[in-house]
Amino acid sequence: MTSRCVIPECKQKRLLPAYLAVSALAVLIAAADGAAARSGPGERPIESIQSRSAGEPTMAIVSLRSQRITVYDSRGWILRAPVSSGTKGRETPAGIFSVIQKVEEHYSNLYDDAFMPHMQRITWSGIALHGGVLPGRPASHGCIRLPFDFAERLFGATAMGMRVIVAPGDVAPVEIAHPLLFQAKPGAAALAAARTAEAQEAAKNAVKVRLAAVTASREATRATAPVRTAENLKLKAEAQLAAAETALGSAVSAETKEQAEGAKVQAAARLAELQAQWDAAKADLQLKLDAVTSAREAAAAAETERAAAAEAARQVARELLPVSVLISRKTQRLYVRQAFEPVFESPVTIADPDRPIGTHVFTAIERTTDDANLRWSVVSLRGGGAPGDTAESKDRARGSSGRDIEPVPTDPGSAKAALDRIAIPQDALNRIAGIAPRSSLIVTDEALSSETGKGTEFVVLLSGEPQGGIKRRRRSPGSDFRYAYPRSQPFGRSPFGSSFFTW
């Protein structure tokens, strides 16, 4: 006979081994998922430069072939980490992008509410950098997954507008000099500092004058009390004088007339005294009211001056914001954007226009010792920077994934050759605002992508590379885009710490 335990305490004892087994399995799965989230099988760990202090990131280059991101400041690379890009049919598009939105806690409304922490958007159609699980191969729906801790670190270091280059191979920027590369207007920084100081001084003066107007108004208010008091006393004295005159007119005896005459004289004297007080109080009040009028006019003038000085400072500061210039061989035009807004466009002349010119991203990385001169770097993709293809193709022939190969420096010769073919009209050069660090010049065979629009810098897609991850998405304007919405609690996550979904 087989006995069965139906007592609850006994049942709990029988199920305890099963509970322990399930708990152990959960711990193992969570540990495996945590490891995958940080480096993934066969992936390199996150690297950071140790030989110097890191500066502000100026660009990030994502290598699709190496499945790696490298972040650069003005002196070289500062951070590296593995990534997981889009799978076949949903490939992350190669091209030139910028960070156009940052959301610390983000959930996708395209892919089952998937959690995308520390999201940095690079297109309004939904391509972004964000923390995610890295299986050691392309696995997303077009986004660029980063290790979770790296995504958090990068999120805190980057600024809106930072250039993000998604390259087929792994290329590195090199320093370059060329007459066509723009320079800052001489004295621009000093002018901005002067305008800022003027705006600050005008703001202080406006506050001072406004307080003076308030004080004058308060004093005028106080001055009305003596006027009212003197007026009330004067009215009472007038009534007393009228009463004395009435008494004098009705007096019969000489004694009564004498008394009434004395009262009238006293009332008249008192009235004259109070009239003088009233006139003096009114004169003092008028002076104070005139002072209020003058103070208010001065305050209005100071406010106008403050607003003008603030606007002048903003205008100069705007001119020091990074400027993006794009020259397209396909359209034979030059485009200028600043602070995510179009400024103007102009035709350009490109010698031998039917011959490819490549795609090159020139970046003003920092000022030199004086106020005007800037250093420039360049990253070339494919036609302009193909020297990396040779090394990487040899690596692929040996069967390596290329993850351990250092980025191939851009060939400055091909970039200079591209600039040599370009002639920019002088009026366009005159209209380009003063160049500041992080400004850029993009020279490309491609036309502007339709992703370039409201709330973006230039977006260029390499036409010879797969674009499945972006072609499947519908673009929405920046102002109406509802792809990002924070939540207090992450939905759609497994009890073991990883998401149920891929994205």
* pLDDT 10s digits, 259-307: 888 888 888 888 888 889 889 988 988 998 999 999 999 999 999 999 9
- 59-88 pLDDT, tens digit each: 999 999 999 999 999 899 999 999 999 999
Report the pLDDT value the prediction gives residue 424, as an integer from 0 to 100: 96
Of the candidates 180, 150, 5, the one whose C-alpha atom is nearest the C-alpha of residue 81 is 150
SS3 of residue 282 by DSSP = helix
- Checking if the pLDDT of 24 tops 80, the result is no
Q: Which of 136-145, 171-180, 234-243 has the lowest mean pLDDT?
A: 234-243
- Checking if the pLDDT of 466 tops 70, the result is yes
SS3 of residue 77 by DSSP = strand
Burial class (CB in 10 A: 0-12, 13-18, 19+), 369: exposed
> Can you tell me the mean pLDDT for 219-247?
88
SS3 of residue 336 by DSSP = strand
Report the pLDDT value the prediction gives residue 300, as an integer from 0 to 100: 95
Report the pLDDT value the prediction gives residue 56, as an integer from 0 to 100: 87
Report the pLDDT value the prediction gives residue 473, as an integer from 0 to 100: 63
- Checking if the pLDDT of 453 tops 60, the result is yes
Phi, psi of 421 (to 5 degrees): -85, -5
- Checking if the pLDDT of 501 tops 90, the result is no
Read off the pTM: 0.69
Contact of 288 with 219, CB cutoff 8 Å = yes
Contact of 329 with 358, CB cutoff 8 Å = no
Q: How many residues are present in the chain?
A: 503
Residue 213 — very low, low, confident or very high, per pLDDT cuts 50/70/90? very high
Structure-model confidence comparison of residues 378 and 386, the more confident one: 378
> Can you tell me the mean pLDDT for 164-181?
95
Residue 396 — very low, low, confident or very high, per pLDDT cuts 50/70/90? very low
Burial class (CB in 10 A: 0-12, 13-18, 19+), 78: buried
Pairing of strands 374-381, 460-461: unpaired
- Checking if the pLDDT of 15 tops 50, the result is no
The CB density around residue 368, as the number of other CB atoms within 10 Å, is 10
Across 224-238, 330-344, 375-389, 402-416, the highest mean pLDDT is recorded for 330-344
Residue type, 471: K
- Checking if the pLDDT of 492 tops 70, the result is no
Mean pLDDT of the chain: 80
Of the candidates 87, 179, 92, 89, the one whose C-alpha atom is nearest the C-alpha of residue 138 is 87
Report the pLDDT value the prediction gives residue 363, as an integer from 0 to 100: 95
Q: Which of 87-91, 186-190, 241-245, 272-276 has the lowest mean pLDDT?
A: 186-190
- Checking if the pLDDT of 10 tops 50, the result is no
Contact of 164 with 98, CB cutoff 8 Å = yes
- Checking if the pLDDT of 4 tops 70, the result is no
Q: Which of 77-81, 159-163, 336-340, 381-385 has the lowest mean pLDDT?
A: 381-385
Report the pLDDT value the prediction gives residue 465, as an integer from 0 to 100: 92
Residue 34 — very low, low, confident or very high, per pLDDT cuts 50/70/90? very low
Q: Which two tokens stand for residue 250?
A: 């009705």
- Checking if the pLDDT of 388 tops 60, the result is no
Residue 370 — very low, low, confident or very high, per pLDDT cuts 50/70/90? low
Of the candidates 106, 156, 94, 105, the one whose C-alpha atom is nearest the C-alpha of residue 361 is 94
- Checking if the pLDDT of 443 tops 70, the result is yes
Of the candidates 83, 101, 78, 226, the one whose C-alpha atom is nearest the C-alpha of residue 159 is 101
Report the pLDDT value the prediction gives residue 391, as an integer from 0 to 100: 39
> Can you tell me the mean pLDDT for 153-166?
95
Residue 309 — very low, low, confident or very high, per pLDDT cuts 50/70/90? very high
> Can you tell me the mean pLDDT for 493-503?
31
Residue 480 is classified by DSSP as: G
CA separation for the pair 160, 338 (Å, rounded): 12
- Checking if the pLDDT of 498 tops 90, the result is no
Report the pLDDT value the prediction gives residue 20, as an integer from 0 to 100: 42
DSSP codes of every residue in 136-200 = SS--BSSSEEE-HHHHHHHHHH--TT-EEEEESS-EE-EEE--TTS--PPTTHHHHHHHHHHHHH
- 408-428 pLDDT, tens digit each: 999 999 999 999 999 999 999
Report the pLDDT value the prediction gives residue 497, as an integer from 0 to 100: 33
- Report which secondary-structure segment, H or E, holds 107: none
Residue entry with tokens 């958090």? 152
Phi, psi of 208 (to 5 degrees): -60, -45
Contact of 129 with 120, CB cutoff 8 Å = yes
